[in-house]
Amino acid sequence: MTVLVLAHFVVALCAAPLIRRAGPRGFLVLALPPAAALAWALCQWGAVTGGGARTESWTWIEAYDVHVAFRLDALALLMVLLAAGVGALVLLYCVRYFAPGTRQLGSFGGNLLGFAGAMLGLVLADDLMILYLFWELTTVLSFLLIGYNSEKRASRRSALQALTVTSVGGLAMFVGLLMLGHAAGTYRISRILETPPAASDTLSAALVLILVGALAKSAIWPLSMWLPNAMAAPTPVSAYLHAAAMVKAGVYLIARLAPAFADVTPWRPLLLTLGTATMLLGGWRALRLNDLKLVLAYGTVSQLGFLVVLAGDGTYNTGLAAAAMILGHALFKAPLFLVTGIVDHAAGTRDLRRLSGVGRALPWVCGVAVVAASSMIALVPLLGFVAKEAAFEALLHGTVAERWVLALIVVGSALTTAYTLRFLWGAFARKPGLDDTTVHRVGPAFLAPPALLSLGCLLLGPGVGWAAPLFEAYAAQYTAPAHPYHLALWHGFGAALWLSALAWAGGVALFLGRDGVVRLGRRLAWPKADEAFGRTVLGLERSALQVTGSVQKGSLPVYVATLLGVVLAGLLAVLVTDRPWGHAPAPRAWDTPWQAAVGALTCACALMCLAVQRRMKAAVFAGLTGYGTALLYVVQGAPDLALTQFGVETVSTVVLVLVMRRLPVNFGEAVRSWRRTAAMLLAFGSAAAIACAVWLAASARTAGPAGAAMTEETAHHGLKDVVATILVDFRAWDTMGESAVLAVAVLGVTSLLYVHRRQGPTPGRPGAPPALPGGVTAWSLASRAIRVPDAYTQTAPERSWLTAGDTLAPEHRSVVLEVIARLVFHPILMLSVYLLLCAENLPGGGFVGGLVAGVALMIRYLAGGRHELDAAAPVHPGFFTGLGLALSTGVALLGLADGTVLHAWTWHGHLPLIGDWHMGTAILFDLGVYLLVLGAVLDVIRALGSKIDQHTEHRAGLALAGDGAEGAR
């Protein structure tokens, strides 16, 4: 089973090059995985219909009892036959449906085959989490398939609507699945059904949430608006997803859980009510539409309501009827969609008002449609008749509520007959006053897939005894009555047959009076659900804009004050209500006098930030507070944290200074005294509350510290640096995630800083400064002032200490700083490598090593400018960031082989002058972090340093250009 599911996705990945080379004929290859799944399922027929089941399982998340588990039983086999059989025929249908050269056909084929694989995994899943994984995968792939014609606004809107409705329902279902798994003590579906949890409010809430997802997926009212709009997708998508596969997922989930939970409140009343309402509303809506696909779409909504009633009723006979109707619905609705595609392909329209005489021009197509439609309205001797007779008989002998439901279903069946006749009349009949529609010939290969499906309706009616063991194997999960119903083509002239005859007669009457029905339907039309959905989305968007506009004022002090105010209010509320200080020991002021001294100096620097008027002084004092914190780490005996704090504070201070070059020297905003007082009170109050909360949290610890176990484990492996080991082994996945967040944040921020100045204007291009008399431009004047050499990356003159030092104007150069940069650059880089390699046994690591290397590049930039930085680091920062992230991620993924990262692989040896050495994959992981941090720092320097310099040079050039123009005059 696992191999079959994976085969779909593997072949789907090859769909684009395959179809690019072979054209639509590539769909023949894409049809092989579902065809293989169909053949495999048929081989399991005997074992499954005998009451057995085939299972596969391997552990995924052992701590949470989550397994990649698959199970093939009667219901799963039925759904596999539908997903694989109809999927293979639809892929074969695509060979003739699409013309050679159709754009994006490869991605369409891959998505369609991927959906078939996701649907196969969904119906085979025997774990709630695996089921949800494939459930959401079908949602995403259906979004891509519905929005295939992305250049059309209707397709994009329909795809987004389907994604919104089904994904929101899926999220609700996910919460319900978690609650159900917690209540049952396991996430294995088969175990939950064998020993379901006792009825409770929690279980009822979980089932309601699960049903929300199932009803959204199966387009049950009031969540049915997305399915008709999804008809914007190509016909193969409509035939497969919206007739045979995706919309059956919700019905499948209901049928899967019904044997265990049908008697739990409010399962049965909810499903019977919504299912019946959906059947009536969908059928009534289909009577006044003119697009053949929309007629079938609303008919599908109606039939899905009927299926939900049968699957959710939770009895032996209705379960038997539901299984038969699930198969029957796929066999008659999928060919009708495919026939609609053929008619559209041959006639160029699906509007039944413009079609006339198509039945005579395409008699075989008409015959296939008549057979499928006859099964949909349950005519003898087709499978639809057998299934509907079973449904009527089951509800007829049920409770009083079920009989009321039966009466409404008879009305819905009359509507089904009426819109089916309307479909056949609109697609194939010759209409008075309308010329016959010109159609082109339809080949047998194009007609073969719908013909085979219609043939199944025709053969399985008289031959229902062949398929009955499968249906009965599913129904056996329910308590069988004394006289269970047996599927057969003919049960005599009973009440069920007369109810069917009544539904046929009512449907024929509605069809004959179709003009009056259309006028009445338009007069009694309710507001469209699609319009209600649009208004809801628009209202949410407007509300979000208003809330954002009122909250996001663009004032950093307001944001900080809001954050601190919320923290202060929350902490005070907890402290006042819980009063946790009663059992806390008296706090210690300090462990050593050095802590008190460093803390006092740090607080003094923080307070001095409030008194200065120059921004640069404030930046320096803010940096000193960070260094004071690092000194506290040193005093406390945490060298790793101290190194990291020193590196982060150095980089942050330099970056802050670079930013302040574009800001006024002094704080120019006049702050009123009451605002200053309020800010000080908020700041001191928040600091005191946070300090109190930290003290109380540390005092309330009841369990032993986790550090002892980690220290012991680290020593067991012969290592000494516990902090580095935690980051690259015990919590390597957390470190990898944090590294990814750092990379995304840095790249995002630096990309937004100068998004409009990524490439400045050059002479001769639009936006370039005009040339002055004599061919002099602002750029030439700027380059003269800045004195950029032609090849600054070559060997510098002997008198220059830096490679590009002479690119700076004399008044901007500092020989002392250049000498210092020349002397310390390489030692700092060596120190960064040392910190990286010694992290297993000494303070250091990839993060602090990358910061130290970034400090070396900062020194080169501060001494020689942006050209010096380009000479020192000619590689793009994104290369370091991407390489580091790829390296750390790759090592972490390889570590899954034996469940660890640090000692998954180890190398050791002996080198002259160095001695014995050993290296584990932790070093490679840390090297990835080193490169990522180095790339991030380099990107920040270039964005806030080089880009600002470039902009300043541009403005200087414009100023010189103005002076030159004035002189020329």
Structural element, H or E, at residue 392: helix 383-396
Reference 644, options 943, 929, 944, 942; nearest CA is 929
Q: Give the residue-averaged pLDDT of 752-780.
A: 44
- Looking up tokens 């792939």 gives 141
Q: Give the residue-averaged pLDDT of 231-253.
A: 84
In this structure, are strands 906-911 and 915-920 parallel, antiparallel, or unpaired? antiparallel
Structural element, H or E, at residue 72: strand 66-72
- Looking up tokens 């030092």 gives 805
Mapped onto helix, strand or coil, the DSSP state of residue 551 is: helix
CA distance 438 to 348: 9
Neighbours of 626 (CB within 10 A): 18
∠ Cα 337 338 339 (to 5°): 90
> Which residues, in sequence order, are CB contacts of 854 under 8 Å at separation 6+?
651, 933, 934, 936, 937, 938, 941
Percent of the chain with pLDDT over 90: 9
Per residue in 424-463, pLDDT (tens digit) is 888 888 888 777 788 888 888 888 889 999 998 899 888 8
Highest mean pLDDT among 293-297, 548-552, 654-658, 887-891: 293-297
Q: Which long-range contacts (CB under 8 A, 24 or more apart) does 595-600 make?
A: 595/632, 595/635, 595/636, 598/628, 598/631, 598/632, 598/635, 599/628, 599/632
Supply the pLDDT for residue 174: 93
Q: Which long-range contacts (CB under 8 A, 24 or more apart) does 535-539 make?
A: 537/164
Supply the pLDDT for residue 134: 92
> Which residues, in sequence order, are CB contacts of 853 under 8 Å at separation 6+?
828, 829, 832, 930, 934, 937
The model's confidence at residue 39, banded by pLDDT at 50, 70 and 90, is very high
891, 924 contact by CB (below 8 A): yes
The model's confidence at residue 906, banded by pLDDT at 50, 70 and 90, is low
Reference 635, options 591, 674, 672; nearest CA is 591
Per residue in 383-430, pLDDT (tens digit) is 988 888 888 888 888 787 778 888 898 999 899 998 899 888 888 888
Lookup: tokens for 710: 């980690």
The model's confidence at residue 798, banded by pLDDT at 50, 70 and 90, is very low
Higher pLDDT, residue 530 or 890 = 890
Among 190-194, 589-593, 666-670, 957-961, name the one with the lowest average pLDDT.
957-961
CA distance 650 to 657: 11
Alpha helix segments (H runs only) across 477-614: 495-512, 514-523, 529-551, 556-578, 593-608
Per residue in 59-107, pLDDT (tens digit) is 877 777 778 889 999 899 999 999 899 989 999 998 888 888 778 888 8
CA distance 357 to 438: 9
The model's confidence at residue 958, banded by pLDDT at 50, 70 and 90, is low
Is the pLDDT score of 788 beyond 50?
A: no
Structural element, H or E, at residue 56: strand 54-61
Mapped onto helix, strand or coil, the DSSP state of residue 916 is: strand
- Looking at every residue in the chain, the average pLDDT score rounds to 81
CA distance 65 to 346: 54
CA distance 854 to 308: 63
- Strand partners of residue 25: none
**Torsional class of 800: left (φ above 0), alpha (ψ -120 to 50), beta (otherwise):** beta
Neighbours of 806 (CB within 10 A): 19
Among 353-362, 372-381, 414-423, name the one with the lowest average pLDDT.
353-362
70, 314 contact by CB (below 8 A): no
∠ Cα 273 274 280 (to 5°): 95
Is the pLDDT score of 795 beyond 50?
A: no
796, 803 contact by CB (below 8 A): yes
Neighbours of 221 (CB within 10 A): 21
Q: Give the residue-averaged pLDDT of 568-583.
A: 77
CA dihedral 514→518→520→522, nearest 10 degrees, is 170
> Which residues, in sequence order, are CB contacts of 287 under 8 Å at separation 6+?
415, 418, 419, 422, 510, 514, 517, 518, 521
Alpha helix segments (H runs only) across 262-315: 267-286, 292-313
Supply the pLDDT for residue 132: 92
Q: Give the residue-averaged pLDDT of 247-258.
A: 90
Among 474-483, 776-785, 928-937, name the one with the lowest average pLDDT.
776-785
Supply the pLDDT for residue 967: 61
CA distance 60 to 691: 41
Supply the pLDDT for residue 760: 43
Supply the pLDDT for residue 901: 46
Please report how many Cα atoms fall inside a 13 Å half-sphere around the Cα of residue 135, on the Cβ side.
30
Q: Give the residue-averaged pLDDT of 180-185.
A: 88
Amino acid at 173: M
Structural element, H or E, at residue 906: strand 906-911
Residue 688 DSSP code = H
Per residue in 124-141, pLDDT (tens digit) is 998 898 899 999 999 999
Supply the pLDDT for residue 895: 61
Structural element, H or E, at residue 415: helix 400-428
Supply the pLDDT for residue 896: 61
Supply the pLDDT for residue 120: 92
